[in-house]
Amino acid sequence: MMQADSPRIVLASASAARKLLLEQAGIRFEAQSAHIDEAGVKQSAAASGMSAPDAAVLLANLKAKRIARRDPDAIVVGCDQLLVFEGRWFDKPATVAEARDHLGALRGRTHTLVTAVLCQRGDQRLWHHVAQPRLTMRAFSDAFLDTYLQAEGGALTTTVGAYRLEGLGVNLFDKVEGDHAAVLGLPLLPLLGYLRQLGVIGT
């Protein structure tokens, strides 16, 4: 696949799943973690009555802007994902015990992963897209849950849903509706379409 040497692409994320999606698509990019107070921004957004899609875009934009300030010539790709269940926004569990509580609440029910991606260059937000895949967990047993928690361990605290669909977490589900890449944290096809529109990758 043809990709222009300029502008460079920077992914404002340390997520292994997001990096792998871009790598598998043949995109040349750098990855830089953008440290922002995600919990504080979410709390403020929720308190102000902001919708989950708008909050996801806000968080993605804050991450991208932080990288773009120090690398203004690059196309910075920012991403964020909110798990929404019965009006509640879930945070990444801090402990395995908290992950167990999250999964217990989601078991046998359907939740939405509100997933935003945007492109920023310098101080200009160029484009954004929000995907909202819906996932239905099966009514797994307590014994299965305990086995799953033991197998995944600390990895549970790295994802908003306490599961990795690209790994053992797939066993938690009955049905996934929507973009698989968006479930993993990056709506890839819309992003590739925009990069083609910009002329960064070949048409």
- Contact partners, residue 187, CB within 8 Å, separation at least 6: 115, 117, 129, 130, 131, 179, 181
CA distance 195 to 51: 27
Question: Of the listed 5, 37, 80, 101, which one is catalytic?
Answer: 80
185: alpha, beta or left? (left if phi > 0; alpha if psi -120 to 50): left
CA distance 99 to 86: 18
80 is catalytic: yes
Of 168, 158, 86, 73, the C-alpha closest to 122 is: 73
- Contact partners, residue 55, CB within 8 Å, separation at least 6: 41, 42, 45, 46, 82, 89, 114
CA distance 119 to 61: 8
Q: Which residues are catalytic?
A: 80
